[in-house]
Amino acid sequence: MIEVTLHDVGEGMTEGEIANYLVQVGDRVTIDQPVVEVSTDKMVAELPAPVSGKVTDILIPVGQTVSVGTILLLIDEEETETAATVERTIKRVVEQPQQTTMTPTIAPAVRRVLATPYTRKIARDHGIDLELVPATDPSGRVTEDDVRRFLETGTRSAETQQPVVAQTTPSPSVETIPFRGIRKQIAKKMTQSLFTIPHVTHFEEVDMTRLLALREELKAAGQPISVNAFFIKALIVALQDFPVFNAKLDEANEQIVLERQYHIGVATETTDGLIVPVVRDADKLTMQQLHTRVAELSSRAKTGDLRAADLKPSTFTMSNVGPLGSTGATPIINYPETALIAFHKTKKRVCVDEQDQIVIRSMMNLSMSFDHRVADGATAVAFTNRFAGLIEHPTTLLMELI
């Protein structure tokens, strides 16, 4: 009997929640076939079968959180037929008396569906059997668009095609939402951060007028660069000047560990909750590379295609909630980092310039939460001033990159 255990699917993982089983007791599986989905604080990962065989027992129920090493299910491994076994089988067939020819019953082949956990979730939510969904991807992978296209045709799985029986009992007066998966893991991590780190949030406003004008020039020249790419570059310069915010507090050894690498986490909203994919070694990437990398990570986060390497620990996290319409917030630090910065809505305001002239500028609010154990308010203000200066005068930012 082969044990399928929860193993570390990401750097530093210690536990995970059972999100869904892709097989049932009695099912036959092949080696590397996904059998269970596990939710961590950053992603939903599929665990494959280590051998081919028959599922004999499922030990942990859906929704339960277990530690790494816990046995989840058991598989009875299929024995490989030896030459002697085959010879005995042939001999028995030859020695059997000839019987009336019967048409053999062939079990329908079960198609192993390739799909991301997010795509599987959409299918489950709508009662769709993924084996019935045609894949448009050349690799045979069923995508989110394939499922939605299948849904629009009105075709459902056999279970949902059954006639709907009118309910005789009154509908409940309240609606419940399962508190599990990524949402539950986010809650645990946020609670740990808030109850461990003494948070202080500093607010600042930044004049985005020149930067937005520069973006338009680059776009007209066929070189579009996202605002996030500029933000990351400016953050790296500011973090190099104020390394205490690119650090972790090691309480056990009573020291602040200053990171020498710049792995920038970019908070991304998805249907399953907030995910923080990481732009690793961001200081070594060009502006165009940053633009491409952030776009790729955001797209994969939304479709559930992030890899474990995309979610390795960051050294500093940023959150751009401006496109959602936010004007301010007190963000919770991504533990065990020492700070997190959030960018809010940019809108035109009437301002007074250095010549006391009334002008209209594109202004953005930002909020920065920091660990008051490792930094003071004055340091945080100096950090955001440095960042704001680079954004308000993007030519100075370009000079820093030379």
pLDDT tens, the chain, 402 aa long: 888 998 876 656 678 888 889 888 999 998 888 889 887 766 777 888 888 999 999 999 888 888 888 999 999 987 654 444 545 544 554 455 554 444 444 444 445 677 776 677 778 777 788 788 888 877 677 887 788 888 877 654 444 444 444 445 555 688 888 777 777 778 888 899 999 999 999 999 999 999 999 999 999 999 999 999 999 999 999 999 999 999 999 999 999 999 999 999 999 988 777 889 999 999 999 999 999 999 999 998 888 788 888 888 999 999 999 888 889 999 999 999 999 999 999 999 999 988 899 999 999 999 999 999 999 999 999 999 999 999 999 988 888 775
CA angle 32/35/36 to nearest 5° reads 130
Could you give the CA distance from residue 16 to residue 38 in angstroms, rounded to a whole number? 6
Question: Does any domain span residue 8?
Answer: yes
Does some domain include residue 54?
A: yes
Q: Is residue 258 situated within a structural domain?
A: yes
Same domain, 4 and 147: no
Q: Of 128, 156, 184, which marks where a domain is finished?
A: 156
Residue finishing a domain among 59, 78, 97: 78
List the catalytic residue out of 126, 202, 372, 393. 372
Pick from 278, 345, 289: nearest CA to 316: 278
Cα separation, 254 vs 107, in Å, equals 65
Active site annotation includes 372: yes
- Kindly state whether residue 45 falls inside one of the protein's structural domains: yes
Give the type of residue at 312.
K
Residue ranges making up the domain that contains 343:
198-400
Q: Tell me, yes or no, whether 270 and 337 share the same domain.
A: yes
281 lies in a domain? yes
283 & 139 share domain: no
The DSSP secondary-structure symbol of 245 reads: G
Residues 203, 150 share a domain:
no
Would you give the DSSP letter of residue 346?
E
The domain boundary residue, chosen from 134, 156, 178: 156
The CATH number assigned to the domain holding 329 equals 3.30.559.10
Residue 187 maps to a domain:
no
